[in-house]
Amino acid sequence: MKNRVAFLNAGEKKVRLSEEDNPEIIGPVDWGLHCHMNLYESYRYPPEDEHNVLCIGMGKLAGSCIPGTHRLTLCFRSPLWEGFFFSTIGGAAYAFKNLGVDYLTLEGKSDEPMIVALKGKRSGIEVKFRTIPMDELVEIYRGSGGEGAYALQKFLVEEFRSWYTERGNPMDFRGLSVGPASLNTNFGGIFSITVKNGELDEGSEDWAARGGPGSVMFKAHGVVGVIFGGTNDWREFPNTDLKDLERADEVFLRLLGKPVMKAASEATVKYRYDESVGSGGTFGVNYFVLRDSTIMFGWRTVNMPKEKRTELYERLVKGHYLSQFDREITAKRYLRPSITMTSPDARPTVRSKVWKNCGEPCPGVCKKIRGRFKKDYEPYEANGPNCGIFDQRAAEMAVYTVDSLGFDAIEFGNVCGWIFECLHEGMLRPEELGLGDVPSFEPDSFDLRDSHKNMGLLVRLAESVAYGENEIARSIGKGTRRAAKELDRKFGERVRGQKFEDLAVYVAFGREGSITPAMYWSPGNFMPIPIQGKYYTFYHSEFREPEEFADLCFMRAVKEMYSENTGLCRFHRGWGEKIIPKLIEEAYGVKVDYEKHNKRILAKIREYNRRAGVDPVFWESERVIDIVSTMAREFADKNEWAKEWWERFCKDKHGAAREYWSRFLKRYEELLESVNEKR
Amino acid sequence: MPEVRVKPALTLTEKINGEIKLRGETVGVILSEFVRKFRPELEELGALVGERGSKLHPSIIVLLNGRNIRFLKGENTKVREGDLIMILPPTGGG
């Protein structure tokens, strides 16, 4: 398949265009792997080196009228995880497609912080480079009410709005920017917000944050902002024109028996307001379903008896955090015609607000908003109950601050919950972190008002880590695993027999790498696989035999790649996983065995990681072993193998954990090896 | 004045079926005409807001030839002969 590519060199301030006709490259993950494996060999260099190119790309269905096909995928070597990684931004390919290329590879390094603006025209790409002195950058971050990444995004739009206007008409354009966290930590994200007629469309913002792509953009390339847009809407579908909704409807009717918008609408059905649940969205549905398996107080709940967990859930989550959300966000929110499960008297009310989406022409309004606060489950869990915050007002301020500072909010919330526990246990002293108090982290005596005290401490800690204000903050900025080892070295004497590492929750990888798992009490999020912290695993709260579990995790990873390598939103994966190969064939007349191709991508990622000398590492923390082993306990009365494993964990926790982990890895490796054998 | 095709989608089709042809220079004019023509059905569907239900609920998504009008010129977007306007009620997600 032909691919159009732009290479943007931040050091030489040049852009060059190229074409790559390669049957192995059918999507942005393929392009990222090709760059990192073959063109730049980034595995030979540390993640901060300029060889760690940031590959930004759209999928082969971008430009079509099909909702969910305009996610922008960013590939890089993660400074946090140490291996190959990718992260995506919803709706951003809508503006990117006007640049005139499939992929943009950011190479070279600017000595000073730099903003790059690219404008696609039929004649090629025009580019503007603007360096921005560090003190001016920090002034932008700290100015405008200290809104960090949001402030820089506003600056980008204001600075370049007129450049993206032709004869009084604003073009489609959009920016990617980083916050201070990317300057000083390994888990800085990339922020982007839809620009609508030259103005930011607040509430539609999205992040590519997992794995720290923002840290790569700044540390490896000196770039703090990239803006793209233009008028070169070049994408064509030579076989069947999928830009035409009526043609696309014909294809969907033939393949799925329903038109495009019906398929898109049904894709989000499980997240609709559900009368039986009394809530909606991932936030509402997850907290309703998770119940006593909700993570609270730094994952300590996994070691509590079910009755205790249930009491905390009922009092703090269901009784306040969730009910507040339902009252303010989901209650009577949907128009009657669009819901099938809500009560017949549901009508738009004065409380109704407009929900948003990422900018796709999609009927799914996935952004649940109250004022300027966008509510997603994972950041509101990591920086909410996990940090002893159970009030929406406190959680809003916590998440907004963490987002503004440009963190991967899941990573920060997880590390903050751990630091709060260390403070609560007396292993750290508040003054060592520049904090004025210890958090309220005792579940029994916890009062809902303590949420606000904990939020204040979280905000102060976030600022301190984002700006690298003190030694411990700088340690934390390296990632949980590195920080745990540094704290153990520094305070080993003081904590007498306890280890910081044992309270921390992370998936270890390579020499010093790690990542925060998705915020679910699910063993799949801790298994030794090439990419963790995303959904390339079997993420349900279940306990299986390790070999069966490896099979399930591998199968899920293969399926997830359908979405990621096509730039498809995960919410549309239901129909996407069924018909993407057929859609590509319809659009381009090219047959691709996606199943085989996706397996090869996974094997290549493993190969890249091996070349970089990074492999899965056995669970280092007691808490992590507890998370996995207690899931066997939870299922011991439901199936034989869970019962058997729980007995083994009780008898020899570390031995059983090692055996489980090793057997899983052996099977997973066999699955990856078999991909190469079958070629 | 150009004639355009207006197609309600998803659950709106419970009350309003098929493709309707309407005339107007802009999306806004077409939508007003659509509301005027189908007010009782739209009211019953809970899809109207404003004084005496004068407008479509802001959560409703309007696509002009597959593009969300929010990213064009909103209701001021000009239409051409034969254009397709799709009216989508919002669903869930997220």
CATH of the domain at A499: 1.10.569.10
The one-character DSSP state at A359 is S
**Cβ–Cβ of B93/A336 closer than 8 Å?**
no
Query: Are A463 and A502 within one domain?
Result: yes
How far does B48 lie from chain A, in Å, by closest CA?
9
What is residue A526's predicted lDDT score, i.e. its pLDDT? 97
Strand boundaries in A206-349, DSSP class E: 206-208, 223-230
Put simply, the answer to whether B94 touches A571 (Cβ < 8 Å) is yes
Residues A544 and A507 in one domain: no
In this structure, are strands A124-131 and A165-166 parallel, antiparallel, or unpaired? unpaired
Our CA angle for A532, A208, A302, nearest 5°, is: 40
pLDDT band at A271 (very low <50, low <70, confident <90, very high): low
Are the beta carbons of A261 and B92 separated by less than 8 Å? no
pLDDT at residue A351 is higher than 50: no
Task: State which residue of chain B sits closest to A365, comparing Cα positions.
Answer: B92
The alpha-helical segments, DSSP class H, found in A568-652 are 573-588, 594-611, 622-635, 640-651
Q: Which of B51, B70, B91 is the best mutation test for A, with the most CBs of A within 10 A?
A: B91
Cβ atoms A449, A442 nearer than 8 A: no
CATH (domain of A139): 3.60.9.10
User: Does any CB of chain B come closer than 8 Å to the CB of residue A262?
Assistant: yes
- How many domains are there within chain A? 3
CB B75: neighbour CB atoms within 10 A? Answer: 16
A289 and A205 in one domain?
Answer: no
Give the domain range for residue A178.
2-235
Residue A362 lies in a domain: no
A273 contacts in B (CB within 8 Å)? Answer: 92
Query: A472 and A535 share a domain?
Result: no
Q: Round the CA-based radius of gyration of chain A to a whole number and report it.
A: 24
The three-class DSSP label of residue A369 is: strand
A272 in B contact zone (CB under 8 Å): yes
CA distance A359 to A357: 6
Which residues in chain B are contacts of A282 at CB distance < 8 A? 94
* Burial of A19 (C-beta count, 10 Å sphere; 0-12/13-18/19+): exposed
| Residues pairing with A199 in the sheet | A196
Name the H helices within A496-621: 500-503, 546-564, 573-588, 594-611
**ipTM confidence score:** 0.75
Tell whether A165 is within 8 A of chain B (Cβ): no
Q: Check if A309 contacts B (Cβ < 8 Å).
A: no
Structural domain contains residue A578: yes
Mean pLDDT score, A546-567: 96
Q: Which of A96, A94, A108, A102 is nearest to A20 (CA)?
A: A102
Does residue A381 carry a pLDDT above 50? yes
CB < 8 Å to B9, chain A = 259, 261-262, 363
Cβ contact A267–B93 (<8 Å)? yes
Q: What is the predicted pLDDT for the residue at A275?
A: 57
What is the per-residue pLDDT for A201?
79
In angstroms, the Cα distances linking A489 to A333, A492, A496, A497, B79 are 52, 6, 12, 12, 68
Q: Do A352 and B59 touch (CB under 8 A)?
A: yes
Please judge whether A196 and B71 are an interchain contact, meaning their C-beta atoms are less than 8 angstroms apart.
yes
Q: For residues A346-362, give the mean pLDDT.
A: 53
pLDDT at A88 over 50: yes
Give the dihedral sign, CA A256/A258/A264/A265. Answer: negative
- Class of residue A372 by CB neighbours under 10 A (exposed 0-12, middle 13-18, buried 19+): exposed
Question: Which residue of A172, A354, A363 is in closest CB contact with B88?
Answer: A363
Q: If you average pLDDT over residues A141-150, what whole number do you get?
A: 81
Q: Which of A142-151, A262-271, A564-573, A665-674 has the lowest mean pLDDT?
A: A262-271
State whether A34 and A174 are in the same domain.
yes
Q: Which of A261, A359, A364 comes nearest B93 by C-beta? A: A364
Residues of chain B in contact with residue A362, where contact means CB-CB under 8 angstroms, are: 61
pLDDT for A446-481, tens place per residue? 999 999 999 999 999 999 999 999 999 999 999 999
**pLDDT reported for residue B24:** 95
Comparison of pLDDT for A350 and A124, the residue scoring more:
A124
pLDDT of A356 strictly over 80: no
Sign of CA dihedral A266, A269, A273, A274: positive
Q: How many other C-beta atoms lie within 10 A of the C-beta of residue A449? A: 11
**A486 & A570 share domain:** no
What residue in B sits closest to A264 (Cα-Cα)?
A: B91
Among residues of chain A, what percentage have pLDDT more than 90? 79
Shared-domain flag, residues A75 and A45: yes
With H, G, I as helix, E, B as strand and everything else as coil, classify residue A459.
helix
Chain position carrying tokens 């009490």: A521
Record: contact B92-A201, CB cut-off 8 A: no
Q: Is pLDDT at A333 greater than 50 in this prediction? A: no
Judged by CB atoms closer than 8 Å, whether chains meet at A361 and B45 is answered as no
pTM (predicted TM-score): 0.92
Tell me the mean pLDDT in the region A315-330: 89
Element (DSSP H or E) covering residue A124: strand A124-131
Hey, are the CB atoms on A348 and B84 less than 8 Å from each other? no
Judgement on whether residues A23 and A47 belong to the same structural domain of the protein: yes
Strands (E), A183-338: 190-192, 195-196, 199-200, 206-208, 223-230
Structure letter (DSSP) for residue A367: B
pLDDT band of A344, cuts 50, 70, 90: very low
Answer whether residue A349 shows pLDDT above 50: no
Disruptive mutation site among A169, A265, A376 for chain B (greatest number of B CBs within 10 Å): A265
Q: Are residues A76 and A146 located together in one domain of the fold? A: yes
Cβ separation B90–A337 shorter than 8 A: no
Residues A521 and A478 in one domain: no
pLDDT band at A331, cuts 50/70/90? Answer: low
Given the DSSP bridges, would you call strands B84-88 and B3-8 parallel, antiparallel or unpaired? Answer: parallel
Angle (nearest 5°) at CA A348 between A345 and A349: 100
Confidence label for A171 from pLDDT (cuts 50, 70 and 90): confident
Contact A306, A265 (CB under 8 A): no
Cβ neighbours for A281, distance < 8 A, ≥ 6 positions apart: A271, A329, A330, A366, A368, A375, A377, B92, B93, B94
CATH number assigned to the domain with residue range B3-88, chosen from the 4 options 3.30.70.3290, 3.20.20.70, 3.10.20.30, 1.50.10.10: 3.10.20.30
pLDDT in tens, A623-646: 999 999 999 999 999 889 999 999
Contact across the interface for A365 and B59, Cβ inside 8 Å: yes
Of B57, B68, B92, Cβ closest to residue A272: B92
Q: Give residue A181's pLDDT.
A: 98
Question: What pLDDT sits at residue A223?
Answer: 98
The answer on pLDDT for A587 being more than 50 is yes
From A515, A534, A554, the end of a domain falls on A515
CA-based radius of gyration for chain B:
12
Q: A267 and A68 in contact (C-beta within 8 Å)?
A: yes
Is the predicted pLDDT of residue A609 greater than 60, yes or no?
A: yes
| Token representation of residue A126 | 């025009």
**In chain B, which residues have their Cβ closer than 8 Å to the Cβ of A364?**
90-94
> What's residue B15's pLDDT?
84
Question: Is residue A32 predicted with pLDDT exceeding 80?
Answer: yes
Instruction: Count contacts between A and B (CB, < 8 Å).
Output: 123
| Residue predicted with more confidence, A336 or B8 | B8
Q: How near does any CA of chain A get to the CA of B47, in Å?
A: 6
A358 at the B interface (CB within 8 A)?
no
Confidence of residue A269 (pLDDT cuts 50, 70, 90): low
Chain B interface includes A376 (CB < 8 A)? yes
Q: For position B93, what pLDDT does the model report?
A: 46
- What pLDDT score was predicted for residue A402? 97
Mean pLDDT by 10 residues, chain B (94 residues): 91 84 95 92 79 77 86 89 88 54
- Residue B31 CB-density burial (10 A; 0-12 exposed, 13-18 middle, 19+ buried): buried
pLDDT at A323 exceeding the cut of 50: yes
Decide if A265 touches B, using CB distance below 8 A: yes
What's the per-residue H, E or C state across A280-309?
CHHHHHHHHHHHHHCCCCCCHHHHCCHHHH
Q: How confident is the model at residue A390 (pLDDT cuts 50, 70, 90)?
A: very high
Range of lowest pLDDT (A146-155, A304-313, A433-442): A146-155
Q: What are phi and psi of A155, to 5 degrees?
A: -60, -45
- Whole-number average pLDDT of chain A: 91
Chain A residues with CB under 8 Å of B67 CB are 361
pLDDT band, very low/low/confident/very high, at A312 (cuts 50, 70, 90): very high
Token duo for residue B43: 């009211």
Q: A541 vs A48, A385, A659, CA distance in Å?
A: 36, 19, 20
Max Cα-Cα span within chain A: 76
Q: Which of A279-288, A305-314, B13-22 has the highest mean pLDDT?
A: A305-314
Tell me: do A274 and A380 sit in the same domain.
yes
Question: A440 and A581 share a domain?
Answer: no
In this prediction, residue A336 carries a pLDDT of 40
Q: Which residues of B touch A376 (CB under 8 A)?
A: 94
Quote the pLDDT of residue A352: 42
Q: What is the mean pLDDT of residues A87-104?
A: 94
Q: Is the pLDDT of residue A270 over 80?
A: no
End-to-end CA distance of chain A: 19
Q: Is A366 on the interface with B (CB under 8 A)?
A: yes
CB contact under 8 A, A271 and B93: yes
Q: Structure tokens of A279?
A: 């809530």
Cβ <8 Å between B71 and A194: yes
pLDDT in tens, A225-254: 999 999 998 999 999 999 998 899 999 999
